[in-house]
Amino acid sequence: FSSADAGGKLQEWSQALQRLAMIVSDPDMHNAIGDPKVGPDQLYGLVGAGTGEALSADAQSFVRVLIENDRLSVLPEIATLFESLKNEREGVIEAQIESAFPVDDAALAQLVADLEQRFKRKVRPQVTVDRALIGGALITVGDEVIDGTVRGRLASMASALRTE
């Protein structure tokens, strides 16, 4: 991280690590990583073929070091940690927004603005649709969960009725 930060290449490394993590997470690649018949050069070739585009010399060296030290399988975790450090450096927090229905751009922009005001940081939203929520949204920012779902409200009401 420090090398990428010092070189002003956080975004470049972030993209490279995300691509590499996706390749390593592929079930076939995962099997190849664990196969003793697949040597380091073959693994390196498989990773290189999977990227679809050229990696920087530094990224190639990084992949080679991971392969030589039998650590290629932890690349997805490395990518996640790198992204966390990058977000912290940039003053950004990620918000996982689960909605019962697709969120239009105007509503998402307003929600992001409200979250930025609440957390006093730039918010990068990741929206997923979960019809099981019935209605509303479930927002997770770091360790904080904001449950504005119909399912959550029904569960709260059921719990309150059981305690009475």
Question: What's the CATH code of the domain at 16?
Answer: 1.10.520.20
Boundary-marking domain end, from 85, 113, 140: 85
Does residue 7 carry a pLDDT above 70? yes
Same-domain status, 108 and 73 = no
Q: Number of C-alpha atoms within 13 angstroms, CB side, residue 116? A: 12
Residues 99, 61 within the same domain: no
Query: Helix, strand, coil: what percent of the chain each, to 5?
Result: 65, 15, 20
- Rounded to the nearest 10 degrees, how much is the dihedral formed by the CA atoms of 53, 20, 13, 93? 130
**pLDDT greater than 80 at residue 74:** yes
Using alpha carbons only, give the angle 133, 142, 113 rounded to the nearest 5 degrees: 75
Checking if the pLDDT of 164 tops 80, the result is no
Assess whether pLDDT exceeds 70 at residue 137: yes
| CA-angle at 54, arms to 4 and 67, nearest 5° | 70
Strands (E), 36-119: 92-99
Are 37 and 98 in a shared domain? no
What percentage of the chain exceeds 70 in pLDDT? 98
103-128 confidence digits (pLDDT tens): 899 999 999 999 999 999 999 999 99
Higher-confidence residue of 95 and 155: namely 95
Residue 51 sits in the same domain as residue 18: yes
Rg (CA), the chain: 21
Q: Which domain holds residue 132?
A: 92-163
Tokens of 91: 């003053």
Residues 70 and 130 in one domain: no
Same-domain check for residues 13 and 70? yes
Count of domains observed in the chain: 2
Q: Among positive and negative, which fits the CA dihedral 118, 119, 123, 129? A: negative
Q: What is the mean pLDDT of residues 130-145?
A: 87
Please indicate, yes or no, whether residues 124 and 53 belong to a single structural domain of this protein: no
Of the residues 85, 104, 136, which one is the last residue of a structural domain?
Answer: 85
Whether 79 and 103 share a structural domain: no
| The pLDDT of residue 69 | 93
**51-70 pLDDT, tens per residue?**
766 778 888 899 999 999 99
pLDDT at residue 52, rounded to an integer: 65
Percentage, residues of the chain above pLDDT 90: 41
How far, in Å, are 19, 62, 65, 75, 82 from residue 52 at the CA level?
10, 17, 20, 18, 22
